[in-house]
Amino acid sequence: MSVKNWSITWGGRTLSVEVGKLSLQANASCTVRYGDTVLLATATMSKNTRDGIDFFPLMVNFEEKLYAAGKIKGSRFIKREGRPSDEAILGGRMVDRAIRPLFDAEMRNDVQVILTALSWDGENDAQIPALIAASLALSISNIPWNGPIAGARVGRIDGQWKLNPTFAERLLSDTDIVIAGTPEKVIMVEAGCKEVTENDVVAALEFGAKEIGLIVEFIKKIQSEIGAVKFDRAANLSEVETKLLVVEKEVKDFVASHVEDWIFDAPKVNRIERVALLDKFSVAIKEMLVAKEVEDKIQTVILSRIKIYVEEFITARILEKDQRLDGRKLNEIRPLNVEVGLLPRTHGSGLFQRGDTQVLSVVTLGAPGDVQTLDSMEEEGTKRYMHHYSDTPATYGETGPLRGPGNRAIGHGALAERALEPVLPLETDFPYAMRVVSEVLGSNGSSSMASTCGSTIALMDAGVPIKKPVAGIAMGLASDNKGNWKVLTDLQDVEDGPGGMDFKITGTRDGVTAIQMDTKTTGLSWEIVKETFARSHEALLKLLEAMQQIIAEPRAELSQYAPRIVTVMINPEKIRDVVGPGGKMINKIIAETGVSIDIEQDGRVHITSSDAIGLEKAIAWVKELTHEVTGGETYEGTVVRLEDFGAFINILPGQDGLVHVSEISWARTNKPSDVLHLGDKVKVVVKEIDNLGRINLSIRALTPKPEGYEERPPMDRAPRSGGFSGGRGNGGGRGR
């Protein structure tokens, strides 16, 4: 293929596409450039099917390259990219959730979409060009896919919607929404909002959907010019796939024959009952397949899909009779249980349970220095609030190896983190680093939303002064290919089948804070979207009411086991006095008091400790180091140097002053060593700070003047030596 280029103006910037130059071994590849942000997308499909698996093997990888931003990895020992950053994982998940619904779920060829960031300009985020590049590569390839779609980011600045705001503009926006789909249908939504009303969120989505229409048509134009003929899967079914279709029809007929006496004979309220139902079908269908001598490979696939077959009939019953498997109404939330203060030594804890979904969220408060350092392609700086989602095989009543967090756990953690960010206290008011871990102890529908609720009550239990409580709800959908649909409140396991959606919405009483939506349909109509938001608001109010009955507001006091932070404001020019040469002074304070110290450039010194005595000692030490001496103050100092003309007294760490020989006593003193000795403790008063910043002290001024005292003329002495160099350390006093 020869190199071809297309471009279009979109959002005030040029979006350009190039095909035929890079990665020519893939089924299709392209580069998409927006501003100076450049993404390379490759789409590849295996030639052979993976018979015997029960899922469509799609892989989407976002490859974040530090060279794209002109960075070298911060580690001293590892300079190449390693494990994907959370940001890269979230970017890949976003694209996956947008393109996956448009594949044939029965396809068993491996498909991989790799998105590599080649250049990042610091203004345009890589996620939107990546989503467009993935759609374009799939559209022009021979891979069967029901696209194209496009995606856009929407912000709001000064009350006006903004298409694809830059990073700087996003800081000014109360809305950050990514939408993928077509102008007619929404396929994926990812959003973080600052308590934006449901109506405004819908307006933002409609604005974004309208704008992506231009890109969808742009991709269609390119596809019409260079698009490959799509692989005809139906005409190339493997022998196993052909047999599977026949057996599946028989299995579905068997399930249909037991809808009344097995599925809907009685409400299946808890997960144990629903698992027992699926097991009952599995045993019966296994016997049927063995009797028909169906080969093992097909049996494996059929038995792994029992839940999907049953879900189809559960969906049909909802559409026909508004009947849910557990007996709830369509807008009804499962039974709730809310508790706080469960753990004796943690800084805060909360248990949130909705039906069989149970989450224990635990708060840990730390010093400002405990913040997370960010060092990815698009992110740098620090993060003071961290939410981590954790589950185990036991969460799902299963067994399995324990590994680190997978992509799903990272995504769920990020969603709950984003949900709480708008209500967190300002760093200037609450300088703590905050980490919440949500231990998912039981999962049966929307554990991420239970984590959001659990985080809220745990933070309030810890005494973190959040502005408002936040709750989260997952909305579901029952729909068929005839256009029938019903929105479900509080989605759970067997309701998330074909034709469904997982529409997660978090918010306060006053507005939405986060959204994450994906669907198992070819897209949601605007009617469905609007009804979902209306119903979700009712559910959020019910959840907030249940939570506030247990804990209405943040506790007035932190846990006795939480560290205390005292902020001391100092003159920024005095920071060097606290740090000391090579960090010697600050390390000494930390070593002798057991505190941690974090210093901001504006002069805020955060001193953190769980030991009250050590904390007070460190505070006093910092105040002494940075105190600015003024006339009239009295000190008990130490004689540190004697000269013929006077004595140098250390009055504060790093700060010395001079008592002139004439200021030692009302009586004549021939030389200071006649009265004072090194190491003597003496009480002095500050007479003045001269125009060179030197501190002049007096001992005699603190004693009564003798009756009839007359000043004598000063004695003739040699000029005093030992010039001033700004004092010991950086105190601004006299040198020695």
pLDDT band at 649 (very low <50, low <70, confident <90, very high): very high
pLDDT tens per residue, range 463-478: 999 999 999 999 999 9
Rounded CA-CA distance 259/499 in Å is 19
Task: Output the CA angle 715-721-722, nearest 5 degrees.
Answer: 140
671 shares a domain with 652: yes
The CATH number linked to 343 is 3.30.230.70
Tell me the pLDDT tens digit for each residue of 327-365.
999 999 999 999 999 999 999 999 999 999 999 999 999
For range 668-693, the mean pLDDT: 91
Residues 59 and 191 in one domain: yes
Total tally of structural domains belonging to the chain:
5
Question: What is the amino acid identity at position 140?
Answer: I
690 has pLDDT over 90 = no
Domain final position from 233, 252, 273? 233
Q: How much is the pTM? A: 0.88
119 found inside a domain: yes
For helices 239-256 and 306-321, angle between their N-to-C axes, nearest 10 degrees: 50
Same domain as 418, residue 429: yes
Q: What is the mean pLDDT of the chain?
A: 92
Question: Under a CB-based contact definition with an 8 Å cutoff, are residues 459 and 436 in contact?
Answer: yes
Q: How far is CA 646 from CA 653, 662, 698, 699, 728, in A?
A: 20, 8, 10, 11, 17
- Both 23 and 159 in a single domain? yes
User: Looking at the structure, do residues 724 and 687 belong to the same domain, yes or no?
Assistant: yes
Q: Are residues 593 and 663 in the same domain?
A: no
Instruction: Please check the confidence at residue 267 and state whether its pLDDT lies above 90.
Output: yes
Q: Residues 229, 255: one domain?
A: no
* Helix or strand run (H / E) with residue 277: helix 271-291
* Rounded-to-integer distance, Cα 1 and Cα 3, Å: 7
Q: For the residues 114-118, what does the mean pLDDT come to?
A: 97
Which whole-number Å values give the CA distances from 555 to 26, 87, 335, 548, 606, in the listed order? 58, 33, 26, 12, 22
Nearest CA among 238, 328, 261 for reference residue 52:
238
**Residue 496 marked as a ligand binder:** yes
Q: Mention every residue, 6+ apart, whose C-beta is less than 8 A from residue 48.
A: 109
What is the C-alpha separation between 125 and 95, in angstroms, rounded?
14
pLDDT tens track for 19-69: 999 999 999 999 999 999 999 999 999 998 887 788 899 999 999 999 999
User: What is the SS3 assignment for 198-225?
Assistant: HHHHHHHHHHHHHHHHHHHHHHHHHHHH
Confidence bin at 729 (pLDDT 50/70/90): very low
Q: Are residues 201 and 101 in the same domain?
A: yes
Classify residue 559: in a domain, yes or no. no
Return all residues near 214 (Cβ < 8 A) that are at least 6 apart: 8, 10
Of 166, 131, 168, residue with least CA distance to 39 = 131
Residue 688 in any domain: the answer is: yes
The amino acid occupying position 284 is A
Q: Is residue 713 part of a domain?
A: yes
Residues in contact with 556: Cβ distance below 8 Å, sequence separation at least 6, in sequence order: 463
* 303 and 360 share one domain: no
- Out of 573, 594, 626, a domain closes at 626
Is 666 exposed, middle or buried (CB count within 10 Å of its CB: 0-12, 13-18, 19+)? middle
Q: Domain for residue 513, yes or no?
A: no
My answer on whether 34 and 161 are in the same domain is yes
Question: Rounded CA gap, 115 and 43, in Å?
Answer: 9
Closest to 147 measured CA to CA, from 608, 667, 640, 522: 522
* Separation CA 230–CA 234 (nearest Å): 11
Contacts with 113 (C-beta within 8 Å, 6 or more apart), sequence order? 41, 42, 43, 58, 59, 60, 61, 95, 99, 134, 137, 138
- Does the residue 326 lie in any domain? no
pLDDT higher than threshold 80 for residue 733: no
Inside any domain, residue 330? no
Give the domain-ending residue among 270, 294, 321.
321
> What DSSP character marks residue 263?
I
Per-residue pLDDT at 713: 65
In a shared domain, residues 368 and 303: no
Q: Is residue 519 part of a domain?
A: no
User: Domain check: are 20 and 151 in the same one?
Assistant: yes
What is the domain-level CATH number for residue 664? 2.40.50.140
H-type helices in 74-197, by residue range? 86-99, 127-140, 167-170
Query: Residue 375 belongs to what domain range?
Result: 336-478+526-550
* Residue 502 annotated as part of some ligand binding site: yes
Alpha carbon distance 561, 346 (integer Å):
7
